[in-house]
Structure 1
Amino acid sequence: MTELLVAIVIIAGLAAIILSVVTRMRKSANQSITTANLRQIGVALVTFVSDKGRFPSKNGDPAWDRAIMSNLGYTDDLTGTGNLKRSEYPGLEASAKVFFTPEDRADRDKSVYPRSFAIIPWTTNWSNGTGFRGWKDRPYNVGVPYAALDAPEKSAAVVQWFSGTESIPNYLGAGNHAYHDRGGPENQIGTYQQVLFADGHIEKMRGNLTSAEFVEKYWPGSIGSVK
């Protein structure tokens, strides 16, 4: 009987070790997918900026993801606004996967393509007039020229973002809530976030930065209203 109990304890211990290893491996794999997808988004965004001389606009352009989709292999018309539904855009499946990460477990409508990332509002010269940054001499809600950035390598452009502060799901193609409404990454997946910078490189940083800290450190422009 004692030997059986010892065997059970050993097996339980091994199972716990195996489960821990599998969990770490899955987490690492998910992080790698996030990095790979964010890198593809970075290439597509940098290509857009190179072609247009500026970042996508909030007004006048499609939502930022629609604007760069042709650089991800989907060349059909994506003008318009609103969520991109699977039934209306079945051919978008492959390109849409780039905007989703398995780290994103937010509950959503399955009929709509999800989006796990958000572009930072400074790219369109948007500011709430108080704590965010912008350029007073540039148009409001219009894509910022790359040349306006003093330090692209320090300017965060795209962050992981599953839902806004109002718990509104993040869907592909939507103009509303396409932009991070807090200024920086949200802390939904633990103590880190992966962030794409304007020069195309990716950093993993702690996800518990306050909006003010993130804006101060990773937004270009100057504090205050841009209007």
Structure 2
Amino acid sequence: WQYFYLYVILDVFSRYVVGWLLADHESAELAEQLIAESCHKQGIARDQLVLHADRVAAMTAKSMAHLLTDLGIEQSHSRPYTPDDNPFSEAQFKTMKYRPDYPQRFDSQEHAYAWARAFFPWYNHEHHHVALGLLTPATVHFGQATEVIAKRQATLDAAYALHPERFVQGAPVPPPLPTAVWINPPTHPDAAFPTMAELPSLAQLPLPQSG
């Protein structure tokens, strides 16, 4: 038997997979490479991001802590013996493994890579996520949710105007998008956090400088 390791970085709010890597071994160096490349591609500025991960060796290595410090990223880990501290990642992997075309086994690393390369674009751009009001992760991640929800509402309004008798519960509305997502919700009842309208879009964020 040979095992392959799939590294995945998931944006918790949008569920968008911002980076992934398939390898035949687990190492801090590979994880660091993926994190650095993903942050650059996403235009992540310093003091903007919290990276939550399990307590695997690659994510608790000193070199990983140094990289995150250099990138200005706050580090967070699941509590020991608490598997549900990383539910969003677990849900994404469940979605992957329950796909109809997920094989019982991969014949080679190339086979596994080809399957993953087809899966992640589907997951990001075609999968209508229940927790996102049936929007795709890409729609939410790239700030298109408001526009899509408005179009859905217009379609529902038109249907209701033509046949109100079909809607026994009144005028329909599309499922809402969550305003906040937490791994561990804050305990202070008066804690104030920015709304989605107050958060910067990717286009507004400064790109990291090279050199």
Q: Give the TM-score, by structure 1 length.
A: 0.27
Q: Give the TM-score, by structure 2 length.
A: 0.28
